[in-house]
């Protein structure tokens, strides 16, 4: 893992560059698959599932029988663990509910805001090297709390044409209405356009590789909303001389094992700690089952020493990490100063894994610097804020002339007339 000492600010952008392909490298492939799915529907879905996943399915819709069989395969202890995690996620997301907001802006002018669920949502659950059943909880639980009518889950099948039993168990537990065995670009395209077996949805959620991320971005060009651009996982830890090197190494490796294009970074005000973490990473990585994946991710990663906490914070905000861990005696400085991060983990006993699974916060977060402008998934992600207004005769008399003057100044005579015709009847 590369150690960088006191980098010049002019070099920060290059040092903090993500190990991802550009959209231009991927977009042609995504466009091709989108066009085929739009024109050929399920035939294109079948073709690309065979090509990318190595399986030709008779049906890509998961049956009730498959779900029942899957539930039996999940050990009771794991079922209880998943249920406990679901409960914590429910508690945190249910607390995010907000009441109707109503005000009278002028006498006789009533305005209010209410939140209504997005009726049809699509949840993308990565499969690949690790079937992320935890992501089912993170997406389906708030969708259910919000009251979404259709919750469609897509996840790539394995070589036997099945989904992991844990994914099916979690989906069943969380009220998913339809489960489809399809992954990658073709899944996003199916949710975007709809096919005979895949319902068209209004908004697509979920993390994925770079191809899935670009596919989600392309979906927005076809009138489908997305949660955020969420690509390869990343983690930044800030630490001083008081931090525990073995804890930090374990956190860095926990994200490095996600995928070869993941990135982890340590920013530290202690050169000694930086060296200790480097040694710990080598030691811990050697016993990981996913060592080969972690090694490639670590090759894209950095250990950065800076002289002051002020510089550290400035660098971190420039990077805008998906996950941000604070291991410093001066944790309040970073908690108060962090402006750009998806989710923040504070102290020696708050591993990033807690947020991935069971603390209650959501692990579907903006990556690739998008935390500078995007929030992670939350209850509001599944809701729309709708405004209402009701104006009485008195209210229109109070604000009518204001509307007339503004409409006329903008050259919109019909807007003015819509008020004037009413005022004439009231005077």
pLDDT over 90 (residue 291): yes
pLDDT over 70 (residue 21): no
Look at residue 131 in the predicted model and tell me its pLDDT: 82
Look at residue 22 in the predicted model and tell me its pLDDT: 62
pLDDT over 70 (residue 38): yes
Verify that 202 and 72 share a domain, yes or no: yes
398 occurs within a structural domain: yes
For residues 135 and 128, what is the distance between their CA atoms, to the nearest angstrom? 14
Look at residue 70 in the predicted model and tell me its pLDDT: 96
**172 carries an active-site annotation:** no
Region label for 102, one of left (φ > 0), alpha (ψ between -120 and 50) or beta (otherwise): beta
Give the confidence band of 29 by pLDDT, cuts at 50, 70, 90: very high
**322 carries an active-site annotation:** yes
pLDDT tens, residue by residue, 177-233: 999 999 999 999 999 999 999 999 999 999 988 899 899 999 999 999 999 987 789
Verify that 271 and 325 share a domain, yes or no: yes
Look at residue 26 in the predicted model and tell me its pLDDT: 87
Verify that 222 and 182 share a domain, yes or no: yes
For residues 153 and 238, what is the distance between their CA atoms, to the nearest angstrom? 36
pLDDT over 80 (residue 269): yes
241: helix, strand or coil:
coil
Verify that 93 and 27 share a domain, yes or no: yes
For the domain that residue 396 is a member of, what is the CATH number?
A: 1.20.5.1300
Give the confidence band of 300 by pLDDT, cuts at 50, 70, 90: confident
Give the confidence band of 171 by pLDDT, cuts at 50, 70, 90: very high
The pLDDT > 90 percentage for the chain reads 92
pLDDT over 90 (residue 418): yes
- The number of domains in the chain is 3
Verify that 75 and 161 share a domain, yes or no: yes
Contact 422, 398 (CB under 8 A): no
Q: Which of 93, 234, 280, 323 is catalytic?
A: 323
Verify that 291 and 331 share a domain, yes or no: yes
For the domain that residue 73 is a member of, what is the CATH number?
A: 3.40.50.1980
399 occurs within a structural domain: yes
pLDDT over 90 (residue 139): yes
Range of the domain at 295: 2-20+232-346
145: helix, strand or coil:
helix
pLDDT, the chain, mean: 96
Give the residue ranges of the annotated binding site for NAD(+).
124, 186, 209
For residues 248 and 303, what is the distance between their CA atoms, to the nearest angstrom? 11
Look at residue 259 in the predicted model and tell me its pLDDT: 87
Verify that 283 and 410 share a domain, yes or no: no
Strands (E), 88-195: 101-106, 109-117, 120-124, 150-155, 178-181
Domain final residue pick, 231, 262, 291:
231
Give the residue ranges of the annotated binding site for Zn(2+).
255, 258, 356, 415
Query: Hey, what are 17's tokens?
Result: 């560059």
The pLDDT > 70 percentage for the chain reads 99
Give the residue ranges of the annotated binding site.
124, 186, 209, 233, 255, 258, 323, 356, 410, 415
Say what the pTM is: 0.94
Q: Which of 322, 331, 394, 408 is catalytic?
A: 322
Verify that 71 and 133 share a domain, yes or no: yes
Give the residue ranges of the annotated binding site for substrate.
233, 255, 258, 323, 356, 410, 415
Contact 251, 234 (CB under 8 A): no
The residue among 188, 214, 172, 284 whose CA lies nearest residue 23 is 214
């Amino acid at each position: 893992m590369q150690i960088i000492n006191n980098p010049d600010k002019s070099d920060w952008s290059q040092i903090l560059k993500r190990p991802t392909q550009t959209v231009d490298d991927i977009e042609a492939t995504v466009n091709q698959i989108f066009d085929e799915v739009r024109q050929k529907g399920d035939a294109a879905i079948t073709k690309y599932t065979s090509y990318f996943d190595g399986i030709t399915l008779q049906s890509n819709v998961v049956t009730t029988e498959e779900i029942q069989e899957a539930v039996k395969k999940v050990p009771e202890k794991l079922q209880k663990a998943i249920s406990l995690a679901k409960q914590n996620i429910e508690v945190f997301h249910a607390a995010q509910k907000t009441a109707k907001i109503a005000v009278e802006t002028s006498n006789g002018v009533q305005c209010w805001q209410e939140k209504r669920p997005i009726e049809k949502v699509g949840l993308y659950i990565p499969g690949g090297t690790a079937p992320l059943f935890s992501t089912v909880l993170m997406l389906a639980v708030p969708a259910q709390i919000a009251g979404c009518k259709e919750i469609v889950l897509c996840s790539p099948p394995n070589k036997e044409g099945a989904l992991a039993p844990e994914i099916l168990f979690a989906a069943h537990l969380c009220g998913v209405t339809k489960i489809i065995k399809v992954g990658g670009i073709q899944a996003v395209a199916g949710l975007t356009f709809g096919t005979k077996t895949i319902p068209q949805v209004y908004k697509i959620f979920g993390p994925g590789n770079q191809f899935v991320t670009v596919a989600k971005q392309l979906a927005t060009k076809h009138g489908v909303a997305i949660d955020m651009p969420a690509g390869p996982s990343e983690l930044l830890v800030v630490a001083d001389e008081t931090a525990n090197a073995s804890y930090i190494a374990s956190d860095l490796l926990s994200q490095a094992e996600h995928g070869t294009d993941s990135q982890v970074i340590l920013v530290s005000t202690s050169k000694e700690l930086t060296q200790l973490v480097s040694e710990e990473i080598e030691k811990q990585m050697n016993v990981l089952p996913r060592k080969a994946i972690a090694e490639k991710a670590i090759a894209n990663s950095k250990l950065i020493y800076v002289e002051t906490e002020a510089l550290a914070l400035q660098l971190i905000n420039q990077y805008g990490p998906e996950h941000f861990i604070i291991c410093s005696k001066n944790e309040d400085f970073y908690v108060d100063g962090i402006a750009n991060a998806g989710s923040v983990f504070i102290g020696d006993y708050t591993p990033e894994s807690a947020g991935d699974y069971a603390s209650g916060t959501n692990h579907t977060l903006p990556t690739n610097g998008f935390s500078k402008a995007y929030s992670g998934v939350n209850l509001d992600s599944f809701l729309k804020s709708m405004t209402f207004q009701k104006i009485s005769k008195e209210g229109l008399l109070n604000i009518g002339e204001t509307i007339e003057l503004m409409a006329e100044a903008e050259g919109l005579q019909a807007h003015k007339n819509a008020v004037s015709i009413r005022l004439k009847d009231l005077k």
